[in-house]
Chains A and B, each alone.
Chain A
C-alpha cells in the first residue's frame, strides 16, 4: 500500500483577485472616459453593469425592508441578456417589480431571499411557471450569515445617500443592510457598485469607506424609502386597546419586561400609545419597557417624551422621524453628525440575544401554537420575525423576565429538559377574527397546502409553537409555558380563540380548569374592566397628536398628513 500523499495538481489560489481585476479592467475599457475615478454618469449605468457582471454571478441587489437600490434595479433589467444571464440573486427583500422582472427576461434564474411581501403573489406564479428557482427563504440574519459562508455576492448593487469624490459613502439614517452586504462582497474579491443621491465635498459621516467601494453612480432620483412603521393612531380600535391593556398588565408588569422588540402592527402601536397613560396609572414607568430593539416608531413618541424610554437601537429608520431622532440623541443611536445610524444585522442580533420579549401579530395560529403569515397563492417569507420570535438558545446572561419564563417552562421537569435556564417571552397578539371574519385560529395552517403547492420541503411557519410562550387575544391571555401536555396546550389555545370554530370547539370544563390554574387569564382575572378600553386611553389619537407630542419635530410623510 502506498501511503504517500499524491501531490495535488498545481492550483491557482487567487482566482477571486484575478477575476476582480478582470472585471475592473473590463469596466475601465468599455466605459472609457465615462468612468471618472470611481464615478460613472447615470446614462452609462447599463454599460457599467454589462461590463461588471458575468453569467451565473451571485448578485446582491440591495432591496431592504425600507431602502431600495431602485435605480440600479431598473438598470439591471436593461442589461444585455446575451452577456449577462442566469444570475443568482441574493437579496433580503423583493419589493419592486424589477426584482422579478430580471427573472422574467432571463437575466436571473435563481433566488435566495428573506421577504417578498409586495411581490409575493407574482413570485408564486413565477415559481409555478418555472421562471424562478428558489434556493431558500431565510430570516434576515440567516441570509446575512450565508453571505459569509456559501452565498457570498460577486457583485453588490447598493444604495447610499451620498458619496464624496473618493467614493466614501454616507447612508443617511437608513443604513439598514448595507454594512453586511458590503463587508461580505468587498472582502471576497467582489465588486461594490453604489447608487447615491448626490456627490458632496464633505460627507456628514462615513458609513462605508471608499476602499470597499468600486463604482459610484449618481441616480437621477433619490433612492426609494418606504415608511413602513407609521401607524395612524386614529385607526386603533377599542379591541386593540383592550389587548394592549392585557399586554401591559398581564405580561410586561407580570414579568418585569425591561428590554423588548415590537412588531409593526396596530396591536403593538396600541401598547406604545398606552404606556404614558395606562402604564403610568399602574406605576410602571422605569419598571418596564426601558430598552428597545425597534425602528423609530412614531407611536412611541409620547412614551419617549414621558420619560419611559432609555435607549432604542434600530434596524432601519422611519421617514419623518429624522429631526426628532436628531433631537433625542440620548435615546437613539446617532453619529457625530447627529443623524440616526441604523443597522439591521446588529439590531437583529440585539433583538435575538438582548431582548426578553417579542410581541407581534400573525395571520394564523394552529392548535400547537405554530404561527404563520403564509397564505395560499403567495410566497412571502417572514423577514426578521423568526429571529425576534425565537428563544435564543445561545443566550447565557440572565434577567428577571428571562428567568421567570424559564422557571415556568421547566417547573417539575427533570434531566436535560429540567436543567435551569431562562427563556425568551415570545407573544403572538391577534384578534380572534381579522377583517372579513377571517379566523386567526385554524386547525391547519395555510402553510401546509402552500408547501405542497410550491414544492417546499417544510411548511413556511413563521414562529414555531414551541417558541411561542403566550397567545393574547381579546378573550384573554394563554400562557403556554405552564402547559404540561399537548392536550393542555391545545385547550389553552382554544380557550382564547373566541368564537372561531377552533374556539367554539373547546372543552369548556378543561378551559375553566386552565383558568383556575392561571394558564388562561381573562381581562377580569387581571383586574381589567373591559369597558375601560376606550380610545381616551391613547396618548395620541391622531397623526396630529403625534406631531404635537414631538414638539413639531416629527414630520409625517404627505400620505399620513390627514389634517
Chain B
C-alpha cells in the first residue's frame, strides 16, 4: 500500500520467554492495529535483542513509536522476540494496550 511507513527498532532485554505459539491481538482497522509476537526466527543470532517492525499508515511519528516501544520494552525486558505491528492510525494508548495484551500470555522461561 502506498503511503505506509516502515519502522524498525531493536532493544536489549534480559527475559527469555518459554516456547510459545505466535500470539496475534487486535485487528487492522481504522484507529486500530494488529500486533504479532513470535519467537525470533530460527537461526537468528541469539543476541539478547527484542526486534520490532512497524508498518503504519500514519507517517512521521517515528519518535513517538520509539518512545512507546521503549517503554513497553522497559516494562517487560523481553529478549529473543520478534514483534510485528500493522497499524492503521492507532493512538499510542491503543498501541500500548495491544502490546500489553499480547505480552500477557507469555511466560518467562525456566532459567
- Please give the residue numbers on chain A whose beta carbons come within 8 Å of chain B beta carbons, in ascending order: 237-239, 242, 431-433, 435-437, 474-475, 498-499, 504, 530-531, 533
Contacts and interface: CB of A to CB of B under 8 A. Distances in A.
A499 B92 CA distance: 7
A530 B64 contact: no
Contacts of B89: 436-437
B92 A498 contact: yes
B100 A431 contact: no
B93 A433 contact: yes
Contacts of A498: 92-93
B101 A433 contact: no
Interface string B24-38: 000000010000000
Contacts of A433: 91-93
Nearest to A498: B92
29 contacts: A237-B94, A238-B94, A238-B97, A239-B91, A239-B94, A242-B97, A431-B91, A431-B93, A432-B91, A432-B93, A433-B92, A433-B93, A435-B31, A436-B89, A437-B61, A437-B89, A437-B91, A474-B93, A498-B92, A498-B93, A499-B64, A499-B68, A499-B92, A504-B63, A504-B67, A530-B97, A531-B97, A531-B104, A533-B97
Contact of A530 (B58, B67, B91, B100): B100
A435 B67 CA distance: 19
Contact of B67 (A239, A436, A499): A499
Given A238-B94, A499-B92, 14 more contacts: A239-B94, A242-B97, A432-B92, A432-B93, A435-B31, A436-B89, A437-B91, A475-B93, A499-B64, A499-B68, A504-B63, A504-B67, A531-B97, A531-B101
Contacts, number: 40
Nearest to A474: B93
B105 to A, nearest CB: 10
Query: Helix, strand, loop or mixed for chain B's interface?
Result: helix
B32 to A, nearest CB: 9
Interface of B: 31, 58, 61, 63-64, 67-68, 89, 91-94, 97, 100-101, 104
B58 A239 contact: no
Choose among A237, A239, A475, A499 the residue with the greatest number of B CB atoms under 10 Å from its CB. Answer: A499
Nearest to A238: B97
Nearest to B94: A239
Instruction: Give me the 7 closest cross-chain CB pairs, A-B, nearest first.
Output: A474-B93, A499-B92, A433-B91, A239-B93, A499-B64, A499-B67, A531-B104
B93 to A, nearest CB: 4
A507 B89 CA distance: 28
A443 to B, nearest CB: 17
Nearest to A499: B92
Nearest to A433: B91
Contacts of A474: 93
A242 B96 CA distance: 12
A537 B61 CA distance: 32
B68 to A, nearest CB: 6
